[in-house]
Structure 1
Amino acid sequence: MGITAITGAMALAFAAIHIFVGRLHFLSVTPRSRWLSFAGGVAVGYIFLHVLPELAAHQREFAEEMGVDRITAESVVYSLALAGLATFYGLERLVQRGGEAGDAKRMQRHVLYLHTVSYGALNLLIGYLLLQGEEEGAWGLALYFTAMSLHFVTADFGMREDNRAAYDRIGRWIITACVIAGWLLGLVLDLSKTLIGCLFAFLAGGIVLNVLKEELPEERQSAFLPFLFGTLLYAALVIAERHGV
């Protein structure tokens, strides 16, 4: 089976998560489902043990293509990661304030649509990186797919909790279309490695924020040990992949 067919199947699996996450009833418990905490740990492990080291490894390449020194290139790349975190945090605060405003229904609806579009853009990038990302070989692609799948479970569950009706009616279809469109773009659009790296950096910040906002609030009653286990397990898989185990 060729890489196009494999990544196409992965894109469809991503789409299935978006569409059917509401049927995973075992996640809707308090204290927070240990599976969600485990998924969050895997996603964080992916960012810190895979994405950020890859960005550091390409500093010289970034510097040459940008026409700047390596320190400046490093600052630009990590600033993009910070920008991704800040952008998605700002959107999250808008969603929360929408529910507290006097004209709550109208404002919340508009802000939730903005939130859906922004999350859709993140999905577009994730779908694109299935074919055009930094992953090399079956192991790397499998680790990317696993981490992003679990991230989608965590993020979609939280998004659906914010407004179940809006998510079920239109939100899930928008983000599903985006991840499929991203994969299709990967078939026809070949961006430079530097631009892909910059997009990857922004994606890293967004994922860190999305995971931590689901794990940290006290009312979630998150489970630390499953979160830690997910992080350590993913770390072990990354180390095994890099050493050819």
Structure 2
Amino acid sequence: MSVFISAYIKNSKKIAPLFLNACCPPALQKATTQSPNKRNTSVLSASQGKFVEFDKGITKMLWLQASIVIIFVIIHLFAGLLLDQPAIPRSKWLSFAGGVAVSYVFMHIFPELAAAQTTINESEPIFAWMEHHAYLVSLVGLIIFYGLERLVKSSRRDATRAFQTPSETQASRGVFWLHIGSFIIYNALIGYLLVHREEQEAWAMSFFAVAMGLHFVVNDFALRQHHKNTYHDVGRWLLTAAIVFGWVMGLMVKLPEPLIAVIFAFVAGGVVLNVLKEELPEENKSSFIAFGCGASSYAVLMLLF
């Protein structure tokens, strides 16, 4: 990924026009009529016959987004190794991650959900009927993920009663595909929203990366608990690909702002549910001190910046 971006920026004058149109989305370029003799990173747009100037700020943002995607990829592929280390107190680690995620929900998700509602209210009539309904979309997302979680647990209970010990049980194959399919959509939407966030400053993106990275670690732990080797052999690769796919689609396709607001509302509901069900561990497996440290430290950092 990084090699592609580097080669694309350094050799942009040599890239064929058709390749440019395919790989350089409108969100990352602006058409100008400047002379090609200027020392700007400019290339010829085949569709408009104009020169495309890459803004340095946009280039930096592209690199930052790519770095965050790479971090998410590493988390999905190797989080299992981290959680399997006997030297790491799992309860404290998960409680700290839960505190960060809960703080992120209250200090970032809820305010952005209000902003999404404003965007919907000011939209075209096709979305305007959803006045005050961004929260309803968020509730739908929460209900869907809650229903899937109940389905997975029911499948594991059936397997336990059938022939397995509780520690060895995993959901059925069909339930696995339904469950992992929902998280594929979830991850792809998060990857897409990485490009179309309201706040694109470097500090805001960094906070997002920390919160969602820890969120993915705990999601990975839960999915491994439910699906065992099936998740390790298949699921984690699909979720990794979904993140990358969503990000690339975000670069290539710009949906209407009201629709992006609806997508965010749906994802927000899923995030809230996943925070509540996984990142607030059972009482005998949790650490209140670690949870409080995670929540308070993240909240203080957000207030400072």
Residue equivalent to 1:207: 271
Residue equivalent to 1:20: 78
Q: Which residues in structure 2 correspond to 1:115-130 (within 5 Å)?
A: 115-130=179-194
Could you tell me which of 117, 126, 144 is aligned with 1:87? 144
Normalized against structure 1, the TM-score is what? Answer: 0.87
Is the Cα–Cα contact under 8 Å of residues 14 and 179 in structure 1 kept in the other structure? yes
Could you tell me which of 218, 241, 247 is aligned with 1:154? 218
CA distance in 2, matches of 1:79, 1:129: 19
CA distance in 2, matches of 1:16, 1:207: 20
Q: Over aligned residues, Cα RMSD in angstroms?
A: 2.7
Is the Cα–Cα contact under 8 Å of residues 64 and 202 in structure 2 kept in the other structure? no
Is the Cα–Cα contact under 8 Å of residues 27 and 33 in structure 1 kept in the other structure? no
Query: 1:27 Cα deviation (Å)?
Result: 6.3
| Segment of structure 1 superposing worse, 207-216 or 61-70 | 61-70
Is the Cα–Cα contact under 8 Å of residues 101 and 279 in structure 2 kept in the other structure? no
Deviations 1:30-77 (A, max 9, x none): 974211111111112112111211222354332121549999522x11
Residue equivalent to 1:109: 173
CA distance in 1, matches of 2:135, 2:80: 35
Residue equivalent to 1:144: 208
Is the Cα–Cα contact under 8 Å of residues 51 and 200 in structure 1 kept in the other structure? no
Normalized against structure 2, the TM-score is what? Answer: 0.71
Query: 1:179 Cα deviation (Å)?
Result: 0.3
Residue equivalent to 2:68: 10
Residue equivalent to 2:118: 60
Letter in 2 for 1:117: G
Q: Which residues in structure 2 correspond to 1:198-237 (within 5 Å)?
A: 198-216=262-280, 218=282, 221-237=285-301
Is the Cα–Cα contact under 8 Å of residues 30 and 221 in structure 1 kept in the other structure? no
Query: 1:151 Cα deviation (Å)?
Result: 0.3
Deviations 1:150-181 (A, max 9, x none): 10011111111222201111000000000000
Larger Rg over CA atoms: 2
Instruction: Note the residue ranges of structure 2 that are not aligned, 5 or more in a row.
Output: 1-58, 164-168
- Alignment of 1:50 with 2:108, yes or no, is yes
| Segment of structure 1 superposing worse, 26-35 or 54-63 | 26-35
Letter in 2 for 1:86: I
Residue equivalent to 2:255: 191
Residue equivalent to 2:245: 181
Q: Name the % identity.
A: 43
Is the Cα–Cα contact under 8 Å of residues 214 and 220 in structure 1 kept in the other structure? no
- Alignment of 1:133 with 2:191, yes or no, is no
| Segment of structure 1 superposing worse, 78-87 or 63-72 | 63-72
Deviations 1:96-153 (A, max 9, x none): 1112236788961210121111111111011111111222311111111111101001
Is the Cα–Cα contact under 8 Å of residues 42 and 234 in structure 1 kept in the other structure? yes
CA distance in 1, matches of 2:276, 2:86: 18
CA distance in 2, matches of 1:106, 1:233: 36
Higher relative contact order (CA 8 A, sep 6+): 1
Distance of aligned partners of 1:216 and 1:165 in 2 relative to their CA distance in 1, 3 Å threshold: same
CA distance in 2, matches of 1:106, 1:48: 33
CA distance in 2, matches of 1:168, 1:203: 24
| Segment of structure 1 superposing worse, 224-233 or 7-16 | 224-233
Deviations 1:163-208 (A, max 9, x none): 2201111000000000000110011011122222221111111112
Is the Cα–Cα contact under 8 Å of residues 116 and 262 in structure 2 kept in the other structure? no
For the residue of structure 1 that corresponds to 2:199, the secondary structure is coil
Letter in 2 for 1:42: V
